[in-house]
Each structure stands twice: as structure tokens, then as C-alpha cells.
Amino acid sequence: MSKTFTVTFLPQKKKTEVPEGTTILAAEQMAGLEPDAPCGGNGKCGKCRVEILEGKKTGVVLACQTPVDSDMKVDTMLQEKVQRILAEGKTRSVPVDPGIALTDRDSGRPYYLMAFDIGTTTVVGYLLDGKDGHEAGVASMMNPQHQFGADVISRANYVLENGGGQMRKVIVDALNQLIGKACADAGILREDIIQISIVGNTCMHHLFLGISPDSLVHAPYVPAVKEGMIITPEKAGLKMNPAGRVLILPNIAGFVGADTVGCMLCVAFDQLDKMTLMLDIGTNGELVMGNKKKMVTTSTAAGPAFEGAKIECGMRGSRGAVSHLKTEDGKIVLEVVDHAKPIGICGSGLIDILAFLIRYGFVDSYGGFCDADELEDPLAKAESWRLQEIDGKPAFVLFPAEKTGNGAPVYISQKDIREVQLAKGAIAAGIQIMTEKLGIRPEDIQQVFLAGAFGNYMDAGNACEIGLIPYELRDRIIPIGNAAGEGAKLACINQGEYRYACRMAEEAEFIELATESEFQDVFVDKLEFSRAVEH
């Protein structure tokens, strides 16, 4: 009979008994703590550090790599989980016609709808009045699946190795929690909600429905289910009016999912006159290009760098994250979320920092750090002290250890720059190939819609400066907020909009970049920081 040990987690004051050999990370999950594990517990990201205060051995360790071998007291080194979650977005008005009738609906009884955007990082739910469609409340939270990995591939692999039961349970529980919160805030009952619509990327779609993601991680990387679905609350596991229904918007491809369809629905993409590029950069990058004549879509595995998962000091856009860099009166000014002591860098900050490094000659066109004696600009010379070595490798220090909230320096490393190059190179190559498919040039794009939180918070000009978006489009960029959530709302409010979304998903042509013969060459070209040469 195997031994069991008690692990006490601080500062949460939670205890759990686990079998000997259970990792501390798994023990945290068993205790309901939802620890951060962007790499899925593979010991690569270093984000799950905890400090063992009492046990056979003490000190700071990686929770995913440390088995429980005695009774322990563990400090989770808690960081704020409150993240800036974007709920607002561009919208359009449609008639209220949800397409569902309950026998007592017309007797004066209030009824409500709810629309969900299940993002890889966050989940947002919108409570909607069923009579006039107005937004009656919003509830949001971090996606609890992050404890199994930051990106879709990590989560898919976790399910293939461990089964999908736990992964599905935490997201269904999360939606039910948000339903409960929205209802409590609005002073209504769960039974008053008669219809729910859901969007999410293809992997989130499959994990919510309990569908194996096997087809998403093996060639040819296609969804197990593409079509839109209308299912019962019981089948969805959602606590609402049991006579109601749940609408699941369709997927387009393995990595272009119902969230992209929601974005397309939000702007009525196939009715646009202007040649349009729509980007949604999260943990994955989805792109749509075209107008009412033709639409093409593709995806790039670009997001983890901008979500902080593969960046040494990377973090999400929460308290203590360096979110922006600008220059004033010949000095660097760094913005930190909530004006807290800095502890890391989020995606919007990463773009600003890299644009600054390019603009002032700290980084060359290949992404390598320059030597301090090569700097020419007066501001660069004054800030040359920031070029340091950390762990024997070149880095640019934003805050020294004595000025941070965790006693460690906040910096961007040479490796971090390479990660950004890979991400921006993939997106830029995707844009280039899409223009070729449509027979246009990048400068022919008349407007760029940036969807999602990252697009909302990042400096669009700096995104063009580093080559993420073609530089000539810098004055044509329009942030549209959480367009996926807005699309989910439209589909829930009007049954015709749901059907329209399904038609648009079928009409859009998907481009599989991996099979495009020129992709690799274009990708390599786009790795370069061309603006560094022009400066």
C-alpha cells in the first residue's frame, strides 16, 4: 500500500492528501488552486516555481518536476491572477429573434440569453435580455484549463495522455460559475436563461464538448467536427433552463475555429467592400483576408510569445506586467499594470520594447544585440548600461532586481527576441501568402481589423515597426475589441445570424501554410527586422 502525505499550501491555507510521488503541481490541482503551467508541466517554462518551506528538502523548485516525498508546507509564491480581460468590441444591431419558444414565454415571464467566448486564456460570458437584446451583464474569468498548459497543443497532448474528463470538467464548471455570477448580479434565476451560444478556437470547442483533439495534433490537422451544432443543456452540462438549447458556432479548420467565425460575423465580413485583413492574435494567430468577392483564412502558431509563455520574464497582462514603453525628454518611460512594482513583461510591452530596441540601434536587422560601443543615438548611449549579461547571456534590463516586486531583474533576453522573431515572421509570412492568393499586394489592403485583447492593448505603430504587420498599413489599423464575443452575441440574439455564420464558415477558403511551397522561404525573409536597416 502506497504512502500518502499531507501538503499544506500557503498563503491559501489549503491542505490536500496525495499519494507519494505525486508532483507538487498535481497536488496544487487536486487542492483546487489552478496553478500556472504554460508548458503543460514539462519543466520548460519555469512559471510553476514554488518554495518548499517544510519537508525533506526545502527551497525554490519547479512544482511540475518535484514529487511529494513527505508531509510538506509549500509557499505557492502567489501572483495576482486578476488579468485585464477584454469584454467590449465592435458591434452591429440586429432584430431580436432567438428562434426558441417556451410555452410560458409570452405570458410576461422574463427570459434571457447568454453568449460565451471560450478563449485559450480567458472566458467571457454576456447575459442578454431576451426581449430587446440589450446586455444585462458580463462575467469573466481566467480559463482554468491553463493549469494543463498555456497553449492548445499542450492541452491537446495532456488530454491524449490523460483523458479529457478533467479538462472538460473544469471548463464546464467555469461556464456554470459564470452563469451563476451573471444571474446573481442581474437578480434572475438560471432557469430564466433559455438559450446560450458558444464560440472558441477549434481546440477549445473540442475540449468543451469532450471531443478528442487527436485530429488537431496529427496531420492533416482537421477538426473532428466542423459544422455548427445545436444541443441540449444536459448534453452541454450547463445549468440553465432545461428546455432551452445551446448553439455551438462552426469551425473552419483545425486552427481556425468558431471564434474566428464569431469575428467574421461581428463585422459581416463577406459584405465588406474594402479589401480587409482581420487579425486575432492570442495564443494562436488567426487571419482572414478579402471582401465580399472572396475570403481566405489561415492560422499561424504565433501566440505563445505574445502571451508570455516562452519569454523568460513573460507573463499575462496582469498586475505588475510591463505593458508599454515610450520615450519622453530623452528618457525611457515604462508603464506597469496597476502601477505596481514590476515582475514581468506582457505581450503589448514586448512589442514596444522590441520596437524601441530596433529604433535606437540596440538590436540589428538579424535580431542580435549590438555592443554598447556601437550605439550612436544620444538616448541609446545614455541607456547603454541596460545592456548586460544575465546567466552569461546578453540581455536588455528594464528594471534591476532591487526595483522589482519579486527581487529578480525584469529584462528581455536574446532568446526572447528570437521567440518574437519566430512569431512575427510566421504572421507576416501568412499575410504575404494570403495577398498572393488574392492576387493583391500588401499595400492594396485598405483596412486592418485587430480583434482580441492583445490587438486592443498593443501599440499598432510599434507592431508595424517590428514587421508583425506590413509597415505601409500602419495608418489603416482599427481595433475592434472582443469581436468573437460580439459575434457570439449576434448568433444568440438572432437565429438568422447563426445560420449566416454557418454559411460564411463554409464559404471561406482555408490556406494550410505548411503545405504552401513558398512558405518557408517567405517565413525566413520575414524573420529579419527590416526597419532596423532603414533606421
For the stretch 282-333, pLDDT in tens is: 777 899 999 999 999 999 876 567 777 688 999 888 889 999 999 999 899 9
pLDDT at 227 over 90: yes
Topology (CATH level 3) of domain 4-75:
Ubiquitin-like (UB roll) (3.10.20)
Q: Where are the domains of the chain?
A: 4-75, 105-267+485-489, 270-301+424-483+513-534, 306-418
| pLDDT (0 to 100) of residue 80 | 44
Tell me whether the CATH fold assigned to 4-75 matches the one assigned to 270-301+424-483+513-534.
no
| CA 188 centroid distance within chain | 31
For the stretch 231-289, pLDDT in tens is: 999 999 999 999 999 999 999 999 999 999 999 999 999 999 999 999 998 777 899 99
Among the listed ranges 18-32, 157-171, 424-438, 480-494, which one has the minimum average pLDDT value? 18-32
Residue 366 burial class via C-beta count within 10 angstroms: exposed 0-12, middle 13-18, buried 19 and up: exposed
**H or E stretch covering 236:** helix 233-236
CA distance 52 to 194: 48
Q: What is the pTM of this model?
A: 0.84
Cα dist from 406 to 249, 380, 402, whole Å:
43, 27, 9
Is the distance from CB of 51 to CB of 77 less than 8 angstroms? yes
**Overall average pLDDT of the 365-386 stretch:** 94
DSSP for 405-460 reads: SSSS-EEEEHHHHHHHHHHHHHHHHHHHHHHHHHT--GGG--EEEEEHHHHHHS-H
Tell me the average pLDDT of the chain.
91
Helix, strand, or coil here: 303?
Answer: helix
| pLDDT (0 to 100) of residue 91 | 75
Higher pLDDT, 58 or 520: 520
CA distance 323 to 458: 8
Whether the bond between 220 and the residue before it is cis, its omega within 30 degrees of 0, is: yes
Binned at pLDDT 50, 70 and 90, residue 534 comes out as low
Is the distance from CB of 86 to CB of 456 less than 8 angstroms? yes
pLDDT at 81 over 50: no
pLDDT at 394 over 90: yes
DSSP state of 337: G
pLDDT at 87 over 60: no
pLDDT at 85 over 60: no
| pLDDT (0 to 100) of residue 82 | 43
Among the listed ranges 337-351, 365-379, 418-432, 453-467, which one has the minimum average pLDDT value? 453-467
CATH number of 270-301+424-483+513-534: 3.30.420
For the stretch 129-181, pLDDT in tens is: 999 999 999 999 999 998 998 788 889 999 999 999 999 999 999 999 999 99
pLDDT at 372 over 50: yes
Residues with Cβ within 8 Å of 436's Cβ and at least 6 positions away in sequence, in order, are none
Binned at pLDDT 50, 70 and 90, residue 535 comes out as low
Topology (CATH level 3) of domain 105-267+485-489:
Nucleotidyltransferase; domain 5 (3.30.420)
